């Protein structure tokens, strides 16, 4: 598949950043990683979601727009394509699950104005993992502020993604169930995902595959 802009997404702990880094290294692609650690509201949000959800999501919206607009507007002569570990639509999916209805309605107005101007990926890959495996991965990486993440919160985010996919017909969306593989430690599993991404064609809308 001929790609200029590839997105690797997934819930928290799904391995999206790791896979994006592995693909970038293999193909010498330009890598765009979300700068979530720079958001000053993130630790506060996990400790008190009701109070800090709106400033958190607004801060993410601004940062994601600025980063993607900056990175995707400049062609890199030394890279074969651009790969990112998030898509701008992520902002709306997370906000839908964290904001109160009145806050979400206001947030969505800002989001819609910006989203229409953003580049669309040639392929959007979503790594699906069951919630228990997500929690295990989150615990293994040992980020203090992530100890507040609950099973219920992760399940809401997963539902938000799949709700978005059902309505999506503008771009090809490839959902890969990765519960039975370990692409980080098993090269053969990485090659399976690599083959699905680069050696097959996908129509606009959702395609779901199990490995």
What DSSP designation does 179 have?
Answer: T
Is residue 50 flagged as an active site residue?
A: no
What are the helix (H) ranges across 10-145? 16-27, 42-47, 49-72, 90-98, 101-115, 131-141
The confidence score (pLDDT) of residue 77 equals 59
Residue 3 CB neighbour total at 10 angstroms? 17
pLDDT at residue 205 above 90?
Answer: yes
Annotated catalytic residue, options 76, 85, 116, 130: 85
What gap in Å lies between CA 16 and CA 10, rounded to an integer?
6
Per-residue HEC secondary structure of 114-169 comes to: HHCCCCCCCEEEEEECCHHHHHHHHHHHCCHHHHHCCHHHHHHHHHHHHHHHHHCC
Tokens encoding 131: 């919630």
pLDDT in tens, 127-175: 999 999 999 999 999 888 788 889 999 999 999 999 999 888 889 999 9
pLDDT in tens, 4-56: 999 999 999 999 999 999 999 999 999 999 987 678 898 888 788 889 999 99
Query: Across the chain, what does the average pLDDT equal?
Result: 92
Confidence of residue 76 (pLDDT cuts 50, 70, 90): low
Within 8 A by CB and 6+ apart from 200, the residues are: 1
CATH 3.10.450.50 assigned to domain 5-210? The reply is: no
- The residue ranges of every structural domain in the chain are 5-210
């Amino acid at each position: 598949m001929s790609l200029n802009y590839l997105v690797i997404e997934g819930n928290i702990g799904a391995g999206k950043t790791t896979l994006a880094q592995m693909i970038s290294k293999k193909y010498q692609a330009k890598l765009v990683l979300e700068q979530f650690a720079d958001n000053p509201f993130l630790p506060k949000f996990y400790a008190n979601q009701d109070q800090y959800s709106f400033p958190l999501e607004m801060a993410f919206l601004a940062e994601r727009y600025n980063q993607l607009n900056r990175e995707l507007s400049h062609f890199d002569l030394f890279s074969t394509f651009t790969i990112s570990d998030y898509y701008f639509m992520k902002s709306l999916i997370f906000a839908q699950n964290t904001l109160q209805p009145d806050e979400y309605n206001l947030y969505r107005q800002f989001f819609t104005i910006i989203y229409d101007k953003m580049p669309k990926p040639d392929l959007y890959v979503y790594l699906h993992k069951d919630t228990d495996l997500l929690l295990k991965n989150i615990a293994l990486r040992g980020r203090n502020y992530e100890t507040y993440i609950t099973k219920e919160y992760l399940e809401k985010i997963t539902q938000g993604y799949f709700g978005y996919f059902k309505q999506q017909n503008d771009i090809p969306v490839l959902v890969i169930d990765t519960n039975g593989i370990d692409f980080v430690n098993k090269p053969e599993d990485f090659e399976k995902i690599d083959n699905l991404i680069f050696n097959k064609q996908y129509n606009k809308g959702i395609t779901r595959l199990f490995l």
